[in-house]
Amino acid sequence: MSDTALSHGRILTGIQPTGEIHLGNYVGALKPFMASVDAAKDCFIFIADYHALNMVRDRAHLKDATYKIAATYLALGLDQKKVAFYRQSDVSEIFELTTILSAITPKGLMNRAHAYKAAVDRNTALGKQGADLDDGINMGLYTYPILMAADMLIADADIIPVGKDQIQHVEMARDIAGSFNHLFGETLVLPTYKVQEGGTSIPGLDGQKMSKSYNNTIPLFDQPNRRKKLIMKIITDSKLPEESKDPDQSTIFQLYTQFASADEIQEMRQAFEQGGMGYGEAKKRLAVAVDRELEAPTEAYHEWLANPAELDAVLEEGAARAGAIAKETIGRVREAIGIVSR
């Protein structure tokens, strides 16, 4: 999808407040998404706090994580004039639409959702049978595609930026909206997806994909000295500084390419391939490059986080803007199904 298409559409994305943002999130999703905002007509970004309830059971954690997500986007330069930035929980129309869509969504569609199938597969691998195949699966997880569809459809969203593994979310929303429109007339806007360009998966401390699940992350807005300590823990092989190394197989080099200049990247590549740079020196250079890019956002992040009232004000303003669109959408939906609006 071209920038021209983006300029004529509303883009929407959401992020769950389930944990601390790390460098992998930044490089793979946040950085390319923030770039796409500039090309869009307008943009909705929501903190998916109700989705997070499927995993988060701690009140303090959910509240803290929500503020951290808000501070992260604002620290990275989110344009508050162009973007409606809000908490999912502050737009009540989302949940009314979820109820309506639940009444017309086939159960079979939910059975095909990747997250549900993955949970069933895990139980199967454990040797469970029959009713036990649904062990540990709550209704929030099972029906999450309907809530996700409501998130998109309530906003009249045109474009949903996604990773390749998230395309099904948008396809299901289109299926559900299409069924509604078939039953009640053209009412809901069918969104389309845009696979984020430039986004990439980066390795963590142990060489696997950086993920909270693997406990191998580097927090995005950690203090520089703590971030450097983590970088120095990146696992490497035992090659000596003078030995040739394959930069494309190096976690250090792969991370470095995301933060260093073209000249710096080329210099490290040559030093790796020709010999002459040890892993310790490479890690120090990586720490410097990361700090250079994140110094100002890190300072802004901690300033925002220290002022939750200001974060609330930003999110409430965004909810008012999103809510105005949501009211129009739910009004059309109510009229279509024959429920009189108050």
Residues in the chain: 342
25 three-class SS: helix
46 three-class SS: strand
Q: In the chain, which residues have pLDDT < 70?
A: 1-8, 197-200, 341-342
pLDDT digits (tens, 9 = 90+) for 191-202: 999 987 655 678
Matching CATH topology for 3-202+308-337 and 221-301? no
> Which pLDDT does position 2 carry in this prediction?
46
Listed in order, strand segments (DSSP E) in the chain are: 10-15, 42-47, 83-87, 159-162, 192-195
pLDDT digits (tens, 9 = 90+) for 241-291: 999 999 999 999 999 999 999 999 999 999 999 998 999 999 999 999 999
Q: How is residue 40 annotated by DSSP? A: S
Residue 131 burial (CB count, 10 A): 7
CATH superfamily, domain 3-202+308-337, is HUPs (3.40.50.620)
Burial code (b: 16+ CB inside 10 Å, e: under 16) for 291-302 equals: beebeebbebbe
Our CA dihedral for 191, 154, 85, 13, rounded to 10 degrees, sits at: -30
Q: How far apart are CA 169 and CA 146, in angstroms?
A: 9
Integer angstrom CA distances of residue 164 from 47, 124, 170, 324? 21, 26, 11, 31
Best CATH choice for the domain 221-301 from the list 1.10.8.60, 1.10.1200.10, 1.10.240.10, 1.20.1280.290: 1.10.240.10
Residue written as token pair 């009412």: 187
Percentage of the chain beyond pLDDT 70 is 96
Which candidate, 143, 113, 144, 188, places its Cα nearest to that of 48? 144
Q: What is the mean pLDDT of the chain?
A: 93
The residue extents of the domains of the chain are 3-202+308-337, 221-301
Indicate if the alpha-carbon torsion angle 126, 132, 134, 139 is positive or negative. negative
Rg (CA), the chain: 22
